[in-house]
Copies of this chain bind each other. A is one copy, B any other.
Amino acid sequence: MLPTRNRQILLHSRPNGIPQAENFRLAESTLPPIGDGQVLVRHHFLSVDPAMRGWVNAVTNYSDLVPIGGVMRAFAAGDVIESHHPDYKVGDYVVGMLGWQEYSVVSTRAIRYKIAQLDLPLSLYLGALGLNGITAYIGLTKFGEPKPGDTVVVSSAAGSVGSAVGQIAKALGCRAVGIAGGPQKVRWCLDEFGFDAAVDYKSPTFVADLQQACPQGVDVYFDNTSGAISDAVLNSITFGARIVICGTASVASWDPWPAGPRPERHLLVKRAKMQGFINLDHDDLYAESVEQLSAWVRNGQLHYREDILEGLEQAPGSIADLYTGANAGKRLIRLKVV
């Protein structure tokens, strides 16, 4: 018997800044009929990502806004339990932009990836083999242009994107330096993720620690934070450095717009490049990215941490923690699959 009811997290009000639990509400609805070319997916895991702030905020978005009353946009992973599309069959595992809900009835345009080989945990396809890993892989390789021997610095280094950036940098023959918040995350960078060095941006000696960790300067900076962390890195860039702007997690709000030291002179003096990038622009690289990342997971070069919350009810309050660093790895919501 196919399910008929669906529980969903809807956007209730538009946050200014970081989305909080009260900006969402849980609702129940009847599943629509499965149209021609559509599939019914049962969700096992929902993703929680810093990018969600941009999907719901009124200011400076880079995606269409989630409408008030709409299902919260999110990556999810699950299995196909009914298919009206020839390329998908019951039992296929898929990942896609399927929303914060228990089920989705979607055209296959919403599906990003059909998992070919089921030896790795499904949850990985939302993290190390999903948005986060792919962001790290494309951002670093395509925009960071790392060369063996380069010093690659990444902020939010213990996070799911940052930890992948460091490990991919190592796999490509670079020196990886992580910036993370607090001694525990610094230890994860060194012990679990194999960074060559890691520094604590909360330490009073952060600026000096960073310089010491990068005696040859910074060739590639993968910027997940913006703010004072990035200002410190910019002072150490080398000639021809590449700065990949991936996120701005340290900026709580862009209204009012924050100020900081002007970067133009650094870019000019060092002939450096600062470029924004969002992995959703690079769907054509999704499959090859997952394959490369899977190979590194299988051979032990890519480690990951997960921070799994149990049940759909946890979703509304799950974003805010990402901005305080309270999560301990890739944050996911696990749904009870019946």
Binding site for B on A (CB under 8 A): 54, 60-62, 223, 226-227, 230, 245-248, 251, 254, 257-278, 281
Contacts and interface: CB of A to CB of B under 8 A. Distances in A.
A275 B276 contact: no
Question: Which 4 A-B pairs give the minimum distances between C-beta atoms?
Answer: A267-B276, A268-B276, A62-B269, A273-B275
A278 B271 contact: yes
For A62, A273, A274, A276, the residue with the greatest tally of chain B CB atoms inside 10 Å of its CB is A276
A271 B262 contact: no
A84 B111 CA distance: 72
Contacts of A230: 264
A60 B278 contact: no
Nearest to A230: B264
Copies in the complex: 2
For A245, A264, A265, A272, the residue with the greatest tally of chain B CB atoms inside 10 Å of its CB is A264
Contacts of A61: 269
Contact of A259 (B259, B266, B271): B259
Contacts of A275: 267, 271-275
A73 to B, nearest CB: 16
A261 B257 contact: yes
A261 B259 contact: yes
16 contacts: A60-B265, A61-B269, A62-B271, A223-B264, A226-B262, A227-B262, A251-B262, A257-B261, A263-B274, A266-B276, A267-B274, A268-B276, A271-B277, A272-B275, A273-B274, A275-B275
